[in-house]
Amino acid sequence: MKQYCENALAVARYLEKSGYVEHVNYPGLESDEDYSLAKKYLKVCR
């Protein structure tokens, strides 16, 4: 599960930087509005 979370975060960061993607909705990103909730409740992906 840890590797899955690391891979998903890497993809989300890549897409966030891409000029072809308008918005990335992934709570593991610091820029996501639900990041604080994800940190609190999704302890598996830390």
Interval 32-46: pLDDT, tens: 999 999 888 887 676
Closest CA to 15 of 5, 25, 6: 25
Whole-number percent of the chain with pLDDT over 70: 96
Closest CA to 5 of 43, 41, 36, 37: 43
- 26 pLDDT above the threshold of 80: yes
Q: Which of 6-15, 22-31, 35-44 has the lowest mean pLDDT?
A: 35-44
42/24 Cα distance (integer angstroms): 18
Q: Across all residues in the chain, what is the average pLDDT?
A: 90
pLDDT of residue 44: 65
Query: Token pair of 3, please?
Result: 């590797």
pLDDT of residue 43: 77
Closest CA to 29 of 42, 16, 44: 16
